[in-house]
Structure 1
Amino acid sequence: MLRVYNTMTRQKETFKSLTPNVVKMYVCGPTVYNYIHIGNARSAVAFDTIRRYLEFRGYRVDYISNFTDIGEKLARTAETENISVAAVAAKYIAKFNEDTNALNIEPATYHPRATENIQEIIDFIQDLIAKDDAYEVEGDVYFRARKFTDYGELSHQSLDRLEVGASQRTADEETARKEDPVDFALWKAQKPNEVAWESPWGPGSPGWHIECSVMASKYLGETIDIHGGGEDLAFPHHENEIAQSESHTGKKFVNYWLHNGFVTIGSDDEKMSKSLGNFVTAHEVLAKYDHQSVRFFMSATHYRRPIRYTEDGIEDALSEVQRFKIARANLLYRRQDATAGTDEAIAAAIAEYRAQFIEAMDDDFNVQNGLVVIHDFLREMNNYAAANTVKLDSIVDLVGQLEQFLAIFGLNLAQEDNLKSDIAALIVKRNAARAAKDYATSDQIRDELAEQGIILEDTPQGSRWRQQ
């Protein structure tokens, strides 16, 4: 039975979706003014891993993740790059898609943009004003946080404490316009040279928080199953989403709040952040390292735990991925001498490992315990690959189960099957040379293959290959 850790209650709860076999899931996406850094990518990977496991368990996941394509950050980039804000958004959405494709992150069911939903945002704000939950001041519109009695519940903070923090975060001029320092912006009046839309309060643009409330409800409904994002979004972003959404609909906004841990960097384990200038972009890392290893580096840690970014960590992930590839290749090699049928002992073992894996992952998506099961399963595969006799269906079943397990982590080992025909021919030629005891030719071919990144391993069952 699947249990998830709900940030709202600070405990694990049995997961039950609103609609049987369907999960409505919203995850906060990036502000598209630059390349995403590894910390941003970690959130995308974490919730893609969760999504993949839910699909493995038989759910259809309606997955929405937004693009924030307006705001001061995009305006600054537009000025620096001497292009329009719309061009900035288009450029970095394309870069986001390039990086997430390289990380084998499944596309969202839909990626709505803030600019596509301006009228819905205005309508939402008008309803809050009509209910006296929001007010307009000089073209700005603010939400009355104190009117929402549960404000601060998600972040477990009192309003008095939040008031002090809000006073420190907000410019004096803006604080003077608010009725209360804890009130937050729903609509912001246009400033010089800013992109703006007409509204009942004059030209302006949406506040950051309102866009997610609008898009979540528009595409998933007034109450959704899971809302995810980085732990830094719990306050104020998600806190504000709850207040404005539930004031608007009168219904519970989210049943389960899930937040992923940070990526840290440096000896002090400082949070990676563009504002701190200590970030490494996903684009840079993917240009330097094997893509599957980068993906596994991030997906092999429980989503709520922090990840310390180091090059050694990615190298370790590369070694682990290689182990999976070699075990798969070695077992597939035995197809040439396999007999027909199924080994009943192997069938029973596969069923047992699958049950153990589900038990591990049903505990709040505990990927680390799930990997313990996968490593045990790998030993089963390696033992079978070394057996004197093997059966074809059991080989297929073992490899298929490994691929299914690892697909949840975003790994696709089947791409290793795309061996060039000329390399395959050289391996066949070398095997023939070895059989004829022509070791000079055999060694020559081995060296030639090594230059192409192909490592050969000679075993009692024959020569096997792997790519460096």
Structure 2
Amino acid sequence: MRAWPRPEIPALPGHAGVPRLHDTATGSLVEARPTDVARLYVCGITPYDATHLGHATTYLAYDTLQRIWLDAGYSVHYAQNVTDIDDPLLERAAATGVEWKELALSQVELFREDMTALGIIPPDEYVAVTEVIDEIAEAVCRLSDAGIAYAVDTPDALVNDAGVRGTDLYFDIAAAEESAPWRLGDESNLDRETMLTLFAERGGDPDRAGKRDKLDPLVWRAARDGEPSWPSRVGDGRPGWHIECSVIALMELGTDFTVQGGGSDLVFPHHDMSAGHAAALSGHPLAGVYSHAGMVAYQGEKMSKSLGNLVLVSGLRADGIDPRAIRLALLSQHYRTDWEWTGTQLDEAVLRQTRWGVAFGEHVAPGSASSAELIENIRTALVTDLDTPAALTLIDAAVPVGVDDPALLRDAIDALLGIRL
């Protein structure tokens, strides 16, 4: 699948250090140090109601990480999926009377436009789930052959031409823990009671009859009447949610890649289970660091498709808001915090953009602050868990006095923060 155009990123003298990120698995700041190329996987959208500010906050966080890696002298290999077949997408398509493929394609195109406007670095591999159904199905077959996936009686599944009714397949957590370098909770650090609550809230089916463990997740959904399905050795059907990211990440990045990123609502079950599937398939851990962005609220509730309390990037752009101001508004919040959008962040961002343009724009006379020293301080802030609010504050402090090399600072603001003055 086609991604979007890559922004030009100026080269700067000197270089950043290795970024340190909060790792959900250990609960501590750890170095996101590549062994060769920095390999990054960030879970992509389910293409409806794109792109709200929660989406944008997540992708901006890992855009910042990439900019730090690049400034540190590393090459970056970035992969992202598109969940273009899933129950929520099918439900939205049915509710709106739009064919599900058409809905997905239109929303992915809107997402591309928003990412381009915001100056987000695109993935090197942008992979739709429907493009790799065969590979996912084969992975499910391997899990089944190894005794790590099992069938559950499925009375509403279709009967095939041979007269055999399909069955849903589930990942056997206990069997995976015995054979793979993974234990449930390794990535999330959650207790079982919390896991059960989140599992039920986030697409799981803890009370499904026939499961060996309430937390065992679906890896293959047997074909039902009126639903899209694909053939496989385990019967016609379509992938479960978590297995798709496991397979795409392993295909594109291999094992033990540098950072797995996404929103904090993916910590469990999605990232825990994706790591388990990948470990069972490969015999290796999925990623070195599990990094998560905070949630954005609006009108007192977490911004979500189900509640409909969304602020869309495309809507702000349609209202004439400069995408750079949107980006600055999001950068003013630390990527890992939960916060609420009120609109005042955007007002402050517009003022900040104006002040920076006056102080550091073209044809501005040199000031007294050292651009080189300021850039090093910005780098220090960003390598410390992507502290963009601290970086913005450092630049704000130089506004009254100006800098000795405005052109150099403009390049740094562009390269490190993605804001072209």
Please state which band the TM-score falls in when normalised by the shorter chain.
0.7 to 0.9
Are the aligned partners of 1:141 and 1:188 in contact in 2 as well (CA < 8 Å)? Answer: yes
Deviations 1:91-148 (CA, angstroms, capped at 9, x unpaired)? 1111111111121212211210001111110121112112211112342110011234
1:79-228 matches, within 5 Å, as 79-138=94-153, 139-149=167-177, 150-159=183-192, 162-163=195-196, 166=199, 175-228=208-261
Q: Which one is further off, 245-254 or 127-136?
A: 127-136
Corresponding residue for residue 283 of structure 1: 314
Q: Which TM-score applies when normalising by structure 2? A: 0.85
Cα distance in 1, alignment partners of residues 415 and 211 from structure 2: 50
Cα distance in 2, alignment partners of residues 121 and 209 from structure 1: 11
Letter in 2 for 1:279: L
Are the aligned partners of 1:217 and 1:223 in contact in 2 as well (CA < 8 Å)? Answer: no
Are the aligned partners of 1:167 and 1:175 in contact in 2 as well (CA < 8 Å)? Answer: no
1:319-468 matches, within 5 Å, as 319-329=351-361, 332-334=363-365, 349-381=370-402, 397-413=405-421
Q: Which TM-score applies when normalising by structure 1? A: 0.77
Cα distance in 2, alignment partners of residues 192 and 53 from structure 1: 49
Task: Return the offset for 1:81.
Answer: 4.5
Task: Return the offset for 1:56.
Answer: 2.1
Corresponding residue for residue 5 of structure 2: none
Corresponding residue for residue 53 of structure 1: 68
Are the aligned partners of 1:296 and 1:410 in contact in 2 as well (CA < 8 Å)? Answer: no
Are the aligned partners of 2:52 and 2:311 in contact in 1 as well (CA < 8 Å)? Answer: yes
The alpha-carbon distance between structure 1 residues 323 and 406, as it changes in their structure 2 partners (threshold 3 A), is farther
Gaps of 5+ in 2: 1-16, 154-166, 178-182
Task: Return the offset for 1:60.
Answer: 1.5
Deviations 1:298-354 (CA, angstroms, capped at 9, x unpaired)? 12221101232112221111000111111133x61549xxxxxxx9x87xx233222
Corresponding residue for residue 81 of structure 2: 66
Partner secondary structure for residue 151 of structure 2: strand
Cα distance in 2, alignment partners of residues 51 and 332 from structure 1: 31
Partner secondary structure for residue 245 of structure 2: helix
Corresponding residue for residue 308 of structure 1: 340
Corresponding residue for residue 8 of structure 2: none
Letter in 2 for 1:401: L
Cα distance in 2, alignment partners of residues 230 and 57 from structure 1: 25
Cα distance in 2, alignment partners of residues 300 and 406 from structure 1: 16
Task: Return the offset for 1:260.
Answer: 0.3
Work out which of the residue numbers 4, 16, 23 in structure 1 matches 2:38: 23
The alpha-carbon distance between structure 1 residues 141 and 29, as it changes in their structure 2 partners (threshold 3 A), is same
Deviations 1:27-54 (CA, angstroms, capped at 9, x unpaired)? 0110013332211121112211222222
Corresponding residue for residue 13 of structure 2: none
Task: Return the offset for 1:166.
Answer: 4.8
Are the aligned partners of 2:219 and 2:241 in contact in 1 as well (CA < 8 Å)? Answer: yes
Percent identity over paired residues: 30
Are the aligned partners of 1:327 and 1:378 in contact in 2 as well (CA < 8 Å)? Answer: yes
Partner secondary structure for residue 82 of structure 2: coil
Are the aligned partners of 1:140 and 1:201 in contact in 2 as well (CA < 8 Å)? Answer: no
Higher alpha-carbon Rg: 1
Corresponding residue for residue 391 of structure 1: none
Are the aligned partners of 1:75 and 1:85 in contact in 2 as well (CA < 8 Å)? Answer: yes
Are the aligned partners of 1:26 and 1:216 in contact in 2 as well (CA < 8 Å)? Answer: yes
Partner secondary structure for residue 176 of structure 1: coil
Task: Return the offset for 1:280.
Answer: 2.0
Cα distance in 2, alignment partners of residues 204 and 234 from structure 1: 26
Cα distance in 1, alignment partners of residues 200 and 265 from structure 2: 19
Cα root mean square deviation, aligned: 2.3
Are the aligned partners of 2:414 and 2:420 in contact in 1 as well (CA < 8 Å)? Answer: yes
Q: RCO (CA 8 Å, sep 6+): is it higher in 1 or 2?
A: 2
Work out which of the residue numbers 232, 235, 252 in structure 1 matches 2:268: 235
Cα distance in 2, alignment partners of residues 96 and 15 from structure 1: 27
